[in-house]
Amino acid sequence: MVDLPRKKVGLIACGGEELPSGTLSRVAVRQVLESLRPEDTVTLCLPLFLAGNEQERAFARFYPTIAVDGCDKQCAKRATEKYSAKVAGEIVVDEVLREQGIAVSPEWRRQPDEAGLQAAQHIAERIAAEVDQILGHEHPGPAAPVVEQQEVQATATQATCSCASGIPVTQIRIGQEMIGIVALDPLLTLVHEQAPARDNGLRAKLVQAIKVYNDVPPEAEREYEEALLREYEQRFGSKEA
């Protein structure tokens, strides 16, 4: 039985430390990761993303990502769309709090008080709703517990990150480029287990399997077929008639 990775949503939070809404974005993301949707989400590190970390960027290219920005500059969204792909969802903390009639206190920049943590909970619930919509889940669930003040500083180190999500990315040559393919090995194994001894349609089956987790441009399907067949034959030998 092939163990395919579970599809998750990446959360990339505002990295700004000069604004209280930046702090609230990170606290809210932690609530989602640890309490509201721990099985459905992972966090992406914005500094690593900007520095060119391939694991972070590959995840956001192939999986839905929600940008949680503190203000309308939307740095997390802009970085994701510049280096990976269009975000599946975007949340601006200032806008959400304005809709809720919640005034932002400058004191929340370093250590949110009880009111600040309640504000973060509103953001967390909005993020969780976006996750459910993206994955097509109905998830009533309990409200997010309020994070204790002394735990706020540990937010970045305790979240589940994309590199620990169990989603492997393999670089292979397709045409003239090296391209990251999500879940290549388990998907090739799945085709191998299902394909007959002689299979005229193997190339098409390989591409269809890869599309479960990867975007394949229509104009590049022939190049993907050749590359995937090469990878398949290296592992299992030829099954084409």
Domain edges within the chain: 9-164, 169-236
Picking from 96, 92, 70, the residue whose alpha carbon sits closest to that of residue 17 is: 70
Is residue 131 classed as helix, strand or coil in its secondary structure?
helix
Q: How far from chain centre, in Å, is Cα 36? A: 16
Strand order in the sheet with 41-44: 41-44, 9-13, 65-69, 89-92
Q: Are strands 9-13 and 41-44 parallel, antiparallel or unpaired?
A: parallel
In the predicted model, is pLDDT for residue 145 greater than 80?
Answer: no
Q: How far is CA 104 from CA 16, 29, 222, in A?
A: 15, 18, 54
Print burial letters for 207-231: b (CB count within 10 Å at least 16), e (below 16). bebbeebbebeeeeeebbbebbbeb
Label residues 34-53 b or e (16+ Cβ within 10 Å = b): bbbbeebbbbbbbebbbeeb
Per this entry, what is the length of the chain?
Answer: 241
Quick one: average pLDDT of 38-67? Answer: 77
Predicted confidence at residue 77, as pLDDT, reads 92
Distance from C-alpha of 53 to C-alpha of 214, rounded to nearest angstrom: 19
Residue 37 has pLDDT above 80, yes or no: yes
Q: What's the rounded Cα separation, in Å, for the pair 62 and 77?
A: 16
pLDDT tens digits, 94-140:
999 999 899 999 999 888 899 999 999 999 999 999 999 999 877 65
| DSSP run (H or E) holding 123 | helix 114-135
Among residues 11, 5, 233, the alpha carbon closest in space to that of 131 is found at 11
pLDDT recorded at residue 4: 58
CATH, range 9-164: 3.40.50
Q: What is the pTM of this model?
A: 0.64
pLDDT at 2: 55
* The residue to which tokens 């085709």 are assigned: 191
Would you say 213 and 2 are in contact if contact means Cβ atoms under 8 Å apart? no
